[in-house]
Structure 1
């Protein structure tokens, strides 16, 4: 990314191809955060997955593993690759769950992975790294810089839909937070994040990212952690607002929605912009209430977020499958009709307690 930005060059990344990264929380046999052993798990999974399936790596926290797919035509390919990597991990005998934040880990229980990059992040963020957070991040390939800018500025107004649908971490430190996504609350305390600013030209984008990184005393431009950001060396836009999902089918649905919304944003460039502060308030409202709230829509009207999501789903479907239905997008439609993930987790906790909730998350993460 640094080299590409330095030369103000956006490298072609494909015609709306898609890939995803997901982070899983690793558990010890008692259900707590794993203190060590992630490197061994990564090595085992790497040996087990076939070439071309994707990449497996350690993360900042010692209790995490990250799966990153290769470039796929659509969400079905992403789902298949993530399923292969999850299966390979569980075949090692490990335990993990795909959830935004461990529901019961004590405050400050955050062992870190050693290494030059991670050591720098630890020095930078210090006590803000109070618990691991796990995300589902989506990359959509873009053919040129004009498409990249249209995608970037357009998706800013639809991040709230993806965030609302993906909010899946209501518990933290053993308590119900009252939020739909405690992951949002944790990462909102980190610097250089949040709703990305509107930027009209590639030069303006490159200049803002450089200045932001420089103000933090780093030349690592990947430490600008906006909710959506361009990745020039990859030729993609990266969407970063979604909690990790225990259900692979739901994860695939969200990947398809993100892919379709990016394509729609390029094909129908925005003509007006909501104020940055309004987009920030939208983000808070869905982090707090999930799908059970209202937000300011792209035309400035306040509407139930479910209604906004239905329009976004229609736009994504028209971009991806104008003459039919995509199975992954049908999963999103079902999400809007069923009980939400936070509601499910709260009901499991009420019925079976915290141990039951942890087991439910583990079993759904390892299910195909």
Structure 2
């Protein structure tokens, strides 16, 4: 099976941001995406190009166009979010983003009425019905299909960096799960989600997709929701590991880290290097540690079992990537990462808000709404 790949001329950037629609009186999720998207689309006399339906009617996905810099992607997202927020306010609805909603029960949510989503529910049943989770996806363009799988494999070394930095889902239906990222564990329940298989190259990727389709495991490669995956139509490597991020400041950090890493790996392949490929057991262990402990995780850094605080690993990779970041015009955004670590991840800020309010979680929702509206001012 041949899978055509649309190469990018450089390490371009695209971001997808899954936003929660929140009733401002109850702080619960509210399923008004149909009305909201219909209203915003009517203004443009057709479907909105950058605001889309998602699985649940309490979510709208905002997407960028193809951007060259992190600043361009940030401005693109901000424009669409501002437009959406204006329409939402008329319905007493607020926008926020976190890996999970702190209090809403997934069983109360309506599924968006499309053939694709109904098929997803029919096949996966409660595993799919429980997907009241929200993430940020970063696409980075690469210059040739044969680079895609080596770059996916090499990025697995940095999976705990992205997950610990973005972890924002400590709560599930009103309870503290004890994890920094419960979302990452919920999503793994789907048979084609979670960690990617470490394939040998594009040929093996094509064969694997052909087998999945022939066996009716999937209908299209869009149904392979790996934490990091190639996206042939866009000509990108897509990082899907991140929890939902409350603010544009945090999205800028993650996008800069992704773009710099992919640019480095792409150029190393041009120079004839063989990219590093961590052992599967190490990748799985580090994902668990990041999901459980977030920025307090100690990650395994080699096959002998040596560990390093993920905070130190983040500081080191920022320093290492700064020359590339300057070339990509995202050094300011990359250098926000240490400031975010010092400020505390979203899961930490959420728990602090709950502790300050006697364990009540409605103030956590208020915090997330405010961070979306006002940013973090890192």
| Correspondent of 1:61 among 37, 56, 59 | 56
Q: So what's the TM-score if we normalise by structure 2? A: 0.89
Q: 1:325 to 1:96 in 2, by over 3 A?
A: closer
Residue 24 of structure 1 pairs with residue 24 of structure 2: no
Residue 281 of structure 1 pairs with residue 285 of structure 2: yes
Rounded to whole Å, the distance in 1 between the matches of 2:181 and 2:64 is 24
The residue aligned with 2:368 is 361
Displacement of 1:267 in angstroms is 2.6
Q: 1:220 to 1:325 in 2, by over 3 A?
A: closer
Residue range with higher mean Cα deviation, 71-80 or 301-310: 301-310
Matches within 5 A, 1:30-109: 30-35=26-31, 37-46=32-41, 55-92=50-87, 93=89, 94-109=93-108
Residue 340 of structure 1 pairs with residue 339 of structure 2: no
Aligned 8 A contact 2:195 2:226 in 1? yes
Displacement of 1:215 in angstroms is 4.0
The residue aligned with 2:113 is 114
Residue range with higher mean Cα deviation, 311-320 or 280-289: 311-320
Displacement of 1:325 in angstroms is 6.9
Aligned 8 A contact 2:154 2:275 in 1? no
Q: 1:196 to 1:323 in 2, by over 3 A?
A: closer
Matches within 5 A, 1:1-368: 6-28=1-23, 29-35=25-31, 37-46=32-41, 55-92=50-87, 93=89, 94-128=93-127, 129-268=129-268, 269-297=273-301, 301-321=306-326, 326-352=331-357, 353-367=360-374
Residue range with higher mean Cα deviation, 121-130 or 150-159: 150-159
Deviations, residues 136-164 of structure 1 (Å, cap 9, x unaligned): 00000111123323322211211221111
Deviations, residues 215-269 of structure 1 (Å, cap 9, x unaligned): 4533211111111111112111110000111111111111111111111222335
Q: 1:324 to 1:10 in 2, by over 3 A?
A: closer
Aligned 8 A contact 2:16 2:136 in 1? yes
How many residues align structurally? 361
Aligned 8 A contact 1:100 1:134 in 2? yes
Over the aligned positions, Cα root-mean-square deviation in angstroms equals 2.3
Q: 1:99 to 1:213 in 2, by over 3 A?
A: farther
Rounded to whole Å, the distance in 2 between the matches of 1:310 and 1:47 is 46
Rounded to whole Å, the distance in 2 between the matches of 1:139 and 1:133 is 19
Deviations, residues 286-337 of structure 1 (Å, cap 9, x unaligned): 0000010111125753211112222322343232216987221121121223
Displacement of 1:109 in angstroms is 2.9
Residue range with higher mean Cα deviation, 309-318 or 17-26: 309-318
Q: 1:139 to 1:324 in 2, by over 3 A?
A: closer
Aligned 8 A contact 2:195 2:227 in 1? yes
Rounded to whole Å, the distance in 1 between the matches of 2:73 and 2:264 is 20
Aligned 8 A contact 1:90 1:366 in 2? no
Aligned 8 A contact 2:151 2:275 in 1? no
| Long gaps (5+) in structure 2 | none
| Long gaps (5+) in structure 1 | 1-5
Q: 1:223 to 1:214 in 2, by over 3 A?
A: farther
